[in-house]
Structure 1
């Protein structure tokens, strides 16, 4: 393995670690503030942490010859950011409220289901799903049963909210995917973070008690969830994926769920039952299968072609 590739994969592992422990920070923060207050301040900090990247991007645009016709209008950027921000707000809100009723580890695995849900949403645009997607979805569904469905066939409330949140995050991923090639990524991220922050704070003002004492006590989890989870990990992901194979990147970033469970155990003393642990293993297998199937098939196909030539 080349040093450059090794370095990129270490960076991706660091990004996954930051995101995994973010679930722990989110739970700890709600010991002092409400879920919407936490999200409101968190995403405000997250958007602000992207400001240096915005300034660098604007400087690069000035150095290049950019015509008016190729650059998206400000109104289009704002409209797109608001649309994406609404889905981000929905997913983040369901995830944060769900964490009041479930563990960080379970939340990490259930939220990770968005990687399996995204291709199914793509069916609305007549995008075909591979056998790996169907197999991964089946494994993930069985895993979710063992993780969250009780023996009397009911799902725990917090896990249900996390599951709904995973659908919102999947919709958000699809929206970002359709906009990514038309709008500067940092600009879009800043607008959607701002929208998510404003909506969260509006709900917090109506339904939660906001005190400076509570915000001060939750300062460390809020800063971690905003600056590190949004700003730092975001930039690490972009930098790491430039020098890493897509299959390797998918595996490393999927470890976010495992690290969330590990962080919940180390920091919050959360424990998973044997049944729940088995469900996590199945869900992880489903996520990896859905992400890696195209590369496994492609590699096998290219190998068969070489043998045919010989």
Structure 2
């Protein structure tokens, strides 16, 4: 797969996620954050499972043997994903779709910083100005001076450090295992089990509450988890984590547009300019590294 194809997959994931903010706000019924997170990710793991098993057998036989460290890495990735998704879901239920989309994008500038400080991985220089462009663009998309932080916004903000860590862990695990579908399915399963366990302990939902949120669980489990998160994992095998985070930040644009279409949240010309700034950052991280490679080859 080429880097361009991988980036297109990441963009498609962002489109699905941006659209799913609406479902996350209105499609959960009375089901609370941890239980909803667990149910949708467990469903996603079941959807991907047949493909993951096939890839596992292929890699195990012809590429490399899986180790205990691989399993522990996938478990850690799924645990971080569970915390990020649950905190975000809890916040989304207590704020607007536009605000939640903007605040989630705070993880974008965190990714190159964490990559440098924790993993000693220096990103391409274009990641820094592109991250700033994406962050400023999401601020504009949110309505800039009209943003008023509520309690739900603080929960969404707290999820961003875990989203940034998750992007980095995905990049590490798909490179190490060479099995993106196995990584995807494994992290979904861990996230699902942890979410349902925490939900039972903290929220104690009954079956009727799950039934009331069934449409949202099915929609999010299939599209947001099984498709979009799997697209992310596959795409990050060929795209560096900081660049992937910038591309995925376009979910902010799609969240605002879907909020306007389905929930009546208005998007001004000024906010649309913020969307263009985000796409400018995405184009920069796509083109600038390619120009450097072209000069070396010539």
TM over 0.5: yes
- The equivalent position to 1:16 in structure 2, one of 4, 8, 14, is 14
Q: CA RMSD in A?
A: 3.9
Report matched runs for 1:1-310 at 5 Å: 14-61=12-59, 64-66=61-63, 70-73=64-67, 75-124=68-117, 125-142=119-136, 147=142, 155-183=149-177, 184-235=179-230, 253-271=248-266, 278=270, 281-282=273-274, 285=277, 288-289=280-281, 292-293=284-285, 295-296=287-288, 298-299=290-291, 302=294
Distance 1:264 1:123 in 2: 35
Structure with greater Cα Rg: 1
The change in CA–CA distance for 1:203 and 1:141 in structure 2 (over 3 A counts) is same
Q: Quick check: 253-262 or 19-28, which moved more?
A: 253-262
- Checking the alignment, whether the CA contact within 8 Å between 2:59 and 2:65 is kept in structure 1 is no
- Checking the alignment, whether the CA contact within 8 Å between 2:249 and 2:278 is kept in structure 1 is no
- Checking the alignment, whether the CA contact within 8 Å between 1:77 and 1:187 is kept in structure 2 is no
Distance 1:139 1:52 in 2: 40
Between Structure 1 and Structure 2, how many residues are aligned?
291
Q: Deviations over 1:58-92 (max 9, x none)?
A: 45347x545xxx3122x223211221122111211
1:284 offset after TM fit, Å?
Answer: 6.5
Distance 1:234 1:34 in 2: 21
Distance 1:237 1:108 in 2: 17
The change in CA–CA distance for 1:116 and 1:283 in structure 2 (over 3 A counts) is farther
Distance 1:15 1:104 in 2: 17
Q: Deviations over 1:118-150 (max 9, x none)?
A: 111112133335553333344455556664886
SS in structure 2 opposite 1:194? helix
Distance 2:95 2:258 in 1: 14
1:287 offset after TM fit, Å?
Answer: 7.1
For structure 2, list consecutive stretches of 5 or more residues without a partner in the other structure: none
Distance 1:47 1:194 in 2: 5
SS in structure 2 opposite 1:101? coil
- Checking the alignment, whether the CA contact within 8 Å between 1:80 and 1:188 is kept in structure 2 is no
Q: Quick check: 232-241 or 222-231, which moved more?
A: 232-241
- Checking the alignment, whether the CA contact within 8 Å between 2:170 and 2:233 is kept in structure 1 is no
SS in structure 1 opposite 2:122? coil
- Checking the alignment, whether the CA contact within 8 Å between 1:117 and 1:170 is kept in structure 2 is yes
TM-score normalised to structure 1 length? 0.75
For structure 1, list consecutive stretches of 5 or more residues without a partner in the other structure: none
